Structure 1
Amino acid sequence: MARTKRFDEEEVLNNAMLFFWHKGYNGTSPQEILDELGLSRSSLYDTYGDKRSLFISTLKRYRDTVTGDVIRLLETADNIPEAIKSLFQQSRNSCFSGEEKNGCFMVNSKVELALHDEEVAAIVKENREALENAFTNAIKRGQEKGQLSKDNQPRALARFIMNNLWGLTVHSKSGADKKVFDDIIRMTLSVIK
Structure 2
Amino acid sequence: MARPRQFDEDRVLDAAGEIFWAKGYEATSTRDLTDRMALTHASLYNAFGDKRGLYLKALQRYLDRNLRSRIARMEATYSPGLTIVGYFEEIVERSLADAEHRGCLLVNTALEARSDDPEMQRAVADETAEIEAFFLRTVTAAQASGEIPANQPPEDIAKLLLSVQFGLRVLVRVRPERELLNGILRPAMAMLTLPWPLPESRPDG
Judge same fold: TM > 0.5, yes or no: yes
Secondary structure of the residue aligned to 2:103 is coil
Is the 8 Å Cα contact of residues 84 and 138 (structure 2) preserved in structure 1?
A: no
The 2-side partners of 1:160 and 1:70 are apart by 20
The 2-side partners of 1:17 and 1:67 are apart by 14
The 1-side partners of 2:174 and 2:192 are apart by 27
Q: Which moved more, 1:73-82 or 1:47-56?
A: 73-82
Q: Once the two structures are superposed, what CA deviation does each residue of 1:47-85 show, in whole Å capped at 9, x if it has no partner?
A: 112111101211222343333224424654651221111
When normalised by structure 1's length, the TM-score is 0.91
Q: Does 1:134 align with 2:143?
A: no
Is the 8 Å Cα contact of residues 75 and 83 (structure 2) preserved in structure 1?
A: no
Equivalent positions of 1:60-99 (< 5 A) are 60-73=60-73, 75-76=75-76, 78-99=78-99
Q: Which moved more, 1:165-174 or 1:57-66?
A: 57-66
Is the 8 Å Cα contact of residues 85 and 189 (structure 1) preserved in structure 2?
A: yes
The 2-side partners of 1:115 and 1:94 are apart by 31
Secondary structure of the residue aligned to 1:96 is helix
**Aligned residue in 1 for 2:200:** none
Shift of 1:175: 2.3
Letter in 1 for 2:140: K
Number of residue pairs aligned between Structure 1 and Structure 2: 193
**Aligned residue in 2 for 1:118:** 118
Is the 8 Å Cα contact of residues 59 and 123 (structure 1) preserved in structure 2?
A: no
Change in Cα spacing, 1:92 to 1:78, as seen in structure 2 (3 Å) is closer
Residue ranges of structure 1 left out of the alignment (5+ in a row): none
Q: Which moved more, 1:93-102 or 1:54-63?
A: 54-63
Change in Cα spacing, 1:38 to 1:143, as seen in structure 2 (3 Å) is same
Residue ranges of structure 2 left out of the alignment (5+ in a row): 194-205
Shift of 1:15: 1.6
Identity %, equivalent residues: 28
Q: Once the two structures are superposed, what CA deviation does each residue of 1:111-146 show, in whole Å capped at 9, x if it has no partner?
A: 102433111111111111111112111111111111
Q: Does 1:148 align with 2:176?
A: no
